Chain A
């Protein structure tokens, strides 16, 4: 043997190859703890990933919905029409502007001659537009009278000092002269009130030296623009989107360039870059404003008449996004389908005795997003949170002590869902086989569901009937057993937060019908009875496997995005 080393190898291989040694009892407990720790870490990582996925999905959906909404809005027929009309108006204005000498206003020569030409234009314009309306001369006279009496505004050659006056005052005075009949072209009470500029502004204009180049800065223009925006008047703003059909009619009306050739550039006076105005005086500026107001009133008057009609039409024409969101709450009738599993771990859970009082309550809430994919078909998904509670009352149910998976001896609580262990304070060191009495158990399950369903709907006026079918992935978020154990005259309630045998995920099918009632614009109320049925059991490796089913009557509020 001393000289034969191969015998040594054979000896040890033969003796130790299939050797067995019993490891210490606490080794599994240590492994169990490590696995628990690893599981927590992995669950945290898993949910962190899920959170990111959910966030990205939400971001993507929001982006998609905004894109689709904007695309439809911008490509709607009325929007296109508005664009075409805007172009037409611009081109016509440009033509008229060119006839009048371009954008730059270069006023040379005597101021009186300019004023006279402006007056002529006004006269011509007012006469051609509305014979029934009071003439410009009338209005001008009224205005002159009023201005002279109040010494506030100067038109023409009047060079009296300017004093500010409230718009209401002028409105009233002028309104007296306005006939009761329709005055679409020169109902300029509000328009004329726009002419009133602040004292400071006029003074600043006055301070500019006459006869030299005057720059109307953009700031002063923008100031007036702001003032206009703040006033609730009906000024025609060419840059504003036009939504009213009547406005479109007015705007689309062929413009008589001959009659408006001097007028149209003045309409745009505030918006045009006036770089050089020589020899212009305050009076001339005021006159221009009057002209502007007149022309605005001319354009704007019909809008007032049909404001409501066009608004309604616009609402009707407004296109909607294919997405809609429904928040719902559903009280459910829950029932379990139970099945024996011979391959499962025996005596780990059990069915409640028929003599025991058994109550089940459940409800589901959440938000569902519909994506309409055609006149009838739509896809539905979202998030749901369902809670099921099973209350069982016993007369005297024994709970036996046995070693749990960590090797610690505790009392085992068995339910149809799974099993858990408790250690009541009055019996915290039991031996295997010891028992205590339980009076009731309350099992609570909470699942986070992600449904995906196909929906078919018929619209009947304000009602919409729909039918849907689909699947839902359900993630266990909470599993709890509360049991009341008997201790002499006092009872103690013990809670089991870890239910063994319960799966983290199960798949369920769903089918239902629904009725929506559109009660206000994009809002509807919906009622939808839905059947949810488990496609695979919620527990495993137990003696009885459970399939939870429920019939829910969901009531929700739906909003079309």
Chain B
């Protein structure tokens, strides 16, 4: 009984989404705003992971949604629409990274460790999503990109290398370094959190 109800609800949801998408393709601004409201929170979280701060994430989100509305007519209504939007957001983030590639500073591991330690001083006692997100954002851009593409998008090193225009070996080493940084940052954060808890 519950399964049937769920299926009916799912079909209704899909139909509504389809109508909404069709209206957006027709250029109806109200429908576009509804679509934005529906998917913006999830997509903003994705953008936050790929950016170093909130402002950069906003830019990625804005460019990504403009691209979504421009490319909506390419959507075949096969597969997850959310997944399709997410892919556009990720590629927008990658394009943003590549556009700013020359501005990125190469760091060595010692500096990274220090930065991670410094940033972790602000982390609250209990590690939550926000803290973990901050740790990811604190990663150097290249590491952040590789880590996100590998862990969250499930891309292989060959694909990551192709996307970012780097060697496959570089992708692997960057992922390793990123994880090392994150590990140290998390440990550090846990220590600080425990200390805060014992003091409090």
Contact = CB atoms under 8 A, between A and B. Distances in A.
B126 interface: no
B114 interface: no
A345 interface: yes
Contact of A13 (B26, B44, B58, B151): B151
Interface in B14-58: 19, 23, 26-33, 36-37, 40-42, 44-45, 48-49, 57-58
B32 A8 contact: no
B58 A345 contact: no
A5 B58 contact: no
A34 interface: yes
Given A8-B186, A31-B65, A16 B70 contact: no
B142 interface: no
B28 A541 contact: yes
Interface of B: 19, 23, 26-33, 36-37, 40-42, 44-45, 48-49, 57-58, 61-62, 65-66, 69-70, 128-129, 132-133, 136, 147, 151-152, 176, 179-180, 182-183, 186-187
Interface string A1-37: 1100100110111011111111110011011101100
A240 B198 CA distance: 119
A540 interface: yes
Given A2-B183, A27-B40, A19 B61 contact: no
Contact of B61 (A8, A9, A27): A27
B120 to A, nearest CB: 15
A345 B30 contact: yes
Contacts of A541: 23, 28, 30-31
Contact of A20 (B27, B32, B42, B57): B42
B58 A16 contact: no
A11 to B, nearest CB: 7
A18 B133 CA distance: 12
Contacts of A504: 27
Contacts of B23: 540-541
A311 interface: no
B41 A500 contact: no
Nearest to B46: A19
A348 B28 CA distance: 13
A81 to B, nearest CB: 62
A16 B61 contact: no
Given A5-B179, A5-B180, A23 B40 contact: yes
Nearest to A5: B179
Given A27-B58, A32-B33, A405-B33, 20 more contacts: A2-B183, A5-B176, A8-B179, A8-B183, A11-B132, A12-B147, A12-B151, A13-B151, A16-B45, A19-B133, A21-B45, A21-B48, A27-B61, A28-B37, A31-B65, A32-B29, A35-B69, A38-B70, A500-B30, A501-B30
Contacts of A35: 29, 32, 66, 69
B152 A17 contact: yes
A343 interface: yes
Contacts of B179: 5, 8-9
B41 A21 contact: yes
A23 B44 contact: yes
Nearest to A3: B183
Interface of A: 1-2, 5, 8-9, 11-13, 15-24, 27-28, 30-32, 34-35, 38-39, 343, 345, 348, 405, 500-501, 503-504, 540-541
Contacts of B133: 16, 19
Give 9 closest A-B pairs by Cβ, nearest first.
A20-B41, A19-B45, A23-B44, A21-B44, A21-B45, A5-B179, A15-B132, A405-B29, A8-B179
A125 B160 CA distance: 108
B29 A16 contact: no
A503 B28 CA distance: 9
Given A22-B41, A23-B40, A541-B28, A31 B182 contact: no
Contacts, number: 101
A405 B136 CA distance: 34
B33 A540 contact: no
Contacts of B147: 12
Given A34-B62, A35-B66, A500-B30, A343 B183 contact: no
B136 A31 contact: no
A13 B152 contact: yes
Contacts of A16: 45, 49, 129, 132-133, 136, 152
Contacts of B187: 1-2
B132 A405 contact: no
20 contacts: A1-B187, A2-B187, A8-B183, A9-B151, A11-B132, A12-B136, A15-B128, A15-B132, A20-B44, A22-B44, A27-B40, A28-B37, A31-B36, A31-B66, A31-B69, A32-B33, A39-B27, A345-B30, A503-B26, A540-B28
A24 B57 CA distance: 10
B41 A12 contact: no
A376 B70 CA distance: 49
A86 B146 CA distance: 91
With a 10 A CB-CB cut-off, give which of A5, A13, A22, A38 has the most chain B CB atoms: A5
Contact of B186 (A11, A18, A19, A501): A11
A34 B48 CA distance: 22
With a 10 A CB-CB cut-off, give which of B19, B30, B32 has the most chain A CB atoms: B30
Contacts of B136: 12, 16
A348 B187 CA distance: 55
Contacts of B151: 9, 12-13
A30 B62 contact: yes
B30 A15 contact: no
Contact of B30 (A2, A20, A405): A405
A47 to B, nearest CB: 15
Nearest to B43: A23
A503 B27 CA distance: 10
A540 B41 CA distance: 27
Contacts of A2: 183, 187
With a 10 A CB-CB cut-off, give which of A18, A31, A34, A35 has the most chain B CB atoms: A31
Contact of A23 (B29, B41, B128, B180): B41
Nearest to A419: B30
A39 B26 CA distance: 12
Contacts of A34: 62, 66
